[in-house]
Chains A and B, each alone.
Chain A
Amino acid sequence: MSVLITGVSGKIGRLVALGLVDRGVKVIGVDRRPWSEAPEGVELHRVDIRKRGAEELFRRMSPEAVIHMGTVTHLMHRTPDRYRINLQGTRAVFDNSKRYGTKQVIFVGRHTYYGAAPDSPLYHTEDEPPMAIESFPELADLVAADLYAGSALWRMPEVDTAVLRICYTLGPRRHGTLAGFLRGPRVPVVLGFDPLFQFMHEQDTATAIICALESRLRGVFNVAGPPPVPLSVIIRETGRTPVAVPEPLLNLSLGRFGLPRLPKGALEHMKYPIVIDSEPFRAATGFAPEFDEDATMRGFAEAGRGPHR
């Protein structure tokens, strides 16, 4: 079997690729970024998913499945390029899949689709609309890419499409939105708010994506691991110090005094939880996380103490 992975050089992309290689799958990696120590069994092509080079790969290799993770998610990356990659890139992936007979496409999206708001429910289900764009317009292209990928379910019924809305990732590779937020010894929090955060170990994230592939998942699914934990507990368990700042002051000081630069909408994520219900995914794939919330936080915290990778 051969699987084409876009965004393979990313942290999760690498883990998925390694997992598939272990299972004897041939991996066709697509990324503009390098992956110098890519193992044998991963064929890395440094092409743009929107360009001819990528189409050529589909034509020549006819991958049976595609895992599409080649989206730009970093929020401060606000070039027009970002929108083109996230939307036209996603379109190109689906068009090529249809044209060259790919049987299965997995779109790797994020649970921030649902948005954080004072009146949003805990445990979102897949049928809920994307409220993220109300408070956080910077997420609009990712939301649109998610919905576009979902439309493949009726536009190209011959392809088994799975849209995964995955919660935050945490772990020793210290990669992702939440890890970035917890990077420093002091973590800014909004005074008087302590939202639940849902995260899973990076290895479990990769396993979940592979589970979706192996069970030929079709449809839209939330993907989460252990139950959510309040931000204050995460900060404590990872050995960080919370710095509680009143919201108006925090708004002014973002990007200054060593605090991360965040879009305004990100503050909503520091006030209100985004918690998803992942039961349908577990029932459909049999996925069970290997790491609980404590092991995941420990993995993240301990990696920081050793020599930096």
Chain B
Amino acid sequence: MIPLPIKASRDVIERVDRLEITFNRHGIDRFGVSKSEIARGYTIARWFAQSYFSTSVYGVENIPKAGRVMLVGNHSGGVAIDAMIVLGSTFFDMEPPRLAQGMAEKFLNRVPVLSEILSRMGQFTGLPEHAARLLEDERMLLVFPEGARGTAKLFPERDSLVGFGTGFMRLALANRSPILPFAFVGGGEAVPTVTNLVQLGKLIGVPYIPVTPWLLPVPRPVDLQLLYGSPMFFEGTGREEDHVIRGYVDQVKDKIQGLISQGRALREGRLQESELELT
């Protein structure tokens, strides 16, 4: 359980009750997701998204209200604050609320306390078995195909995209899941990484430790933009040749890059909300 003296807000508890997930008498679903823990977790996430940062969300109406879907977006900001912001937005900005389930880096499940919190909040290790089973259960997945390389971006690279894995596309094809591209802008400003300490990270069991001008990767309270594009559907079996899959992945990547550019323009005042093209 989250080791903080924080009680879940009443309105958050009400939203948890409206999730389309079957919980048992102990408030646990078949994957171990806990009602009380997600209520506390989202109470904290909302404070971060709204009071600490200032988050603007666009295009949330593009996300399917029910059924399987894979949210696919860019990673940035050193310590994956993007995941928390996306989780919060599908929960607070959607009617009914939805639980996004991230495909987490393997090392996270080794870390005491974090392992427990992530398990109870439905944020499982990113394994193809987990993805397939959750999609089969008509859940919403959250995938960052850049992986840890994505959060490792330095400040000048913050809006770029590094190599995308192809596993997510094969899973989407095999499980007939739509892909919903999104862009997250501002993570680089929140945690402007100067360099990453890889060796030291290895020593304590994480991929790297981001170093900021104030040394610690503590995020600054900045404005954040989150933009959801419209769903993309790809036909196939998931057994296609690499170059075919690569082509599909590039389409998703281009879409996300386009969303990032719009988010950046919005952030810098070069674009108005009414001029956004999210479809």
Closest to B106 in A: A119
Closest to B128 in A: A121
Closest to A117 in B: B109
A55 at the interface (CB under 8 A from B): no
Given contacts A118-B115, A118-B125, contact A272 B109 (CB under 8 A): yes
Listed stretches B44-52, B116-124, B265-273; interface member: B116-124
CA distance A121 to B103 in the complex (A): 12
A271 at the interface (CB under 8 A from B): yes
Given contacts A192-B112, A194-B119, contact A293 B32 (CB under 8 A): no
Interface size grouping (class) on chain A: 20 to 34
CA distance A237 to B129 in the complex (A): 31
Give the Cβ gap from A279 to chain B, nearest Cβ, in Å. 11
CA distance A228 to B28 in the complex (A): 9
CA distance A196 to B34 in the complex (A): 11
The listed residue (B28, B34, B115, B130) touching A122 by CB distance below 8 A is B130
Give the Cβ gap from B48 to chain A, nearest Cβ, in Å. 22
Task: Give the residues in chain B near A119, CB-CB below 8 Å.
Answer: 106, 109, 125, 127
CA distance A194 to B112 in the complex (A): 10
Contact present for B133 and A230 (CB under 8 Å):
no
Contact present for B112 and A190 (CB under 8 Å):
yes
Give the Cβ gap from A292 to chain B, nearest Cβ, in Å. 9
A247 at the interface (CB under 8 A from B): yes
B243 at the interface (CB under 8 A from A): no
Contact present for A194 and B30 (CB under 8 Å):
no
Give the Cβ gap from A126 to chain B, nearest Cβ, in Å. 13
Task: Give the residues in chain A near B133, CB-CB below 8 Å.
Answer: 121-123
B220 at the interface (CB under 8 A from A): no
Give the Cβ gap from A130 to chain B, nearest Cβ, in Å. 16
B7 at the interface (CB under 8 A from A): no
B114 at the interface (CB under 8 A from A): yes
CA distance A119 to B128 in the complex (A): 11
Q: How would you classify the secondary structure of chain A's contact residues: helix, strand, loop or mixed?
A: loop
Interface size grouping (class) on chain B: 20 to 34
B18 at the interface (CB under 8 A from A): no
CA distance A271 to B113 in the complex (A): 11
CA distance A273 to B112 in the complex (A): 14
Task: Give the residues in chain B near A293, CB-CB below 8 Å.
Answer: 24
Contact present for A230 and B32 (CB under 8 Å):
yes
Task: Give the residues in chain B near A193, CB-CB below 8 Å.
Answer: 112, 115-116
Closest to B108 in A: A118
CA distance A272 to B133 in the complex (A): 18
CA distance A227 to B106 in the complex (A): 24
Task: Give the residues in chain A near B127, CB-CB below 8 Å.
Answer: 119, 121
Contact present for B32 and A273 (CB under 8 Å):
yes
A191 at the interface (CB under 8 A from B): yes
**Contact digits for A214-230, partner B, Cβ 8 Å, 1 yes 0 no:** 00000000000001111
The listed residue (B25, B30, B129, B130) touching A228 by CB distance below 8 A is B30
Give the Cβ gap from A144 to chain B, nearest Cβ, in Å. 24
Task: Give the residues in chain B near A284, CB-CB below 8 Å.
Answer: none
Task: Give the residues in chain B near A227, CB-CB below 8 Å.
Answer: 24, 30
**Contact digits for A100-132, partner B, Cβ 8 Å, 1 yes 0 no:** 000000000000000000110111000000000
Task: Give the residues in chain A near B115, CB-CB below 8 Å.
Answer: 118, 192-193, 271
B10 at the interface (CB under 8 A from A): no
Task: Give the residues in chain A near B113, CB-CB below 8 Å.
Answer: 191-192
Task: Give the residues in chain B near A121, CB-CB below 8 Å.
Answer: 125, 127, 129-130, 133
Contact present for B116 and A233 (CB under 8 Å):
no
- 17 of the cross-chain contacts (CB-CB < 8 Å) are A118-B115, A118-B125, A121-B127, A122-B129, A123-B129, A192-B111, A192-B112, A193-B115, A193-B116, A196-B32, A232-B1, A237-B26, A271-B115, A272-B109, A273-B119, A293-B24, A294-B25
Task: List chain A positions with a Cβ less than 8 A from chain B.
Answer: 118-119, 121-123, 190-196, 227-230, 232-233, 237, 246-247, 271-273, 293-294
Task: List chain B positions with a Cβ less than 8 A from chain A.
Answer: 1, 24-26, 28, 30-32, 34, 106, 109-116, 119-120, 124-125, 127, 129-130, 133
3 closest cross-chain pairs (CB), A and B:
A192-B112, A121-B129, A192-B113
